[in-house]
Amino acid sequence: MKIIPAIDLIDGQCVRLTKGDYATKKVYNSNPVEVAKQFEGSGIKYLHLVDLDGAKAQHIVNYKVLEEISHKTKLHIDFGGGLKTDEDLRIAFESGADQVTGGSIAVKDPPKFENWLSKYGAERIILGADCIRRKIAVHGWQEESDMEVVSFIDAYVQKGVRNVVCTDISKDGMLQGPSFELYTEILNKTPLINLIASGGVSRYEELPKLADLGCSAVIIGKAIYEGKITLKQLESFQ
């Protein structure tokens, strides 16, 4: 199972939110490039980079940070937040993203998301299935749709999606443990996907449990920044 630390960006700074609420913003570092270098220095190979400004503005904003991290590290970067147009996607890939995550676009404009899948391939396009009360949330988690998360994922698997990141928003930033039951249900329904667990990870002992469930990767955010899980511990899990 891959370990993927998260860097969330607002105003070019490394921040964390709680349950996706922008009012809960806490700045952890004003220099996200240094944070990325610290991750790489501890043997980390992957990075989940989220443009929270972009998610709110509904177009890519923090691409310069993406560009700098991709130039100054060898981290494999998946990038998301506000990617709505072909131009957004072009900028993200040209700025150094190895993969991109599409969430809102997959809800609001399925033909465009499917076009991205066919144009760039299932390895480079990750489906973002972030949910609250099992309903897919969009636009930086500010809006709830009427789509049920497991059915939503299954429908896109039929269309060729292979990589899915699923955040249970009610768990995000709470440091109370991930959504084990939801991930079990998703993997029972769609066993062929690479499921990336996200949200709620609070201690090292949860990681082997996620691996045993069949998750292919886990995104860890606040647990690292609050010292609940150390980079040293993660070295032993690589």
Which of 8, 51, 53, 78 is catalytic? The answer is 8
Contacts by residues 55-59 (CB-CB < 8 Å, ≥ 24 positions apart): 55/80, 55/81, 55/82, 55/104, 55/139, 55/140, 55/141, 56/22, 56/82, 56/139, 56/140, 56/142, 57/82, 58/82, 58/84, 58/104, 58/139, 59/84, 59/85, 59/88
Which of 51, 88, 130, 168 is catalytic? The answer is 130
- Identify whether 130 is a catalytic site residue: yes
Q: Which residues are catalytic?
A: 8, 130
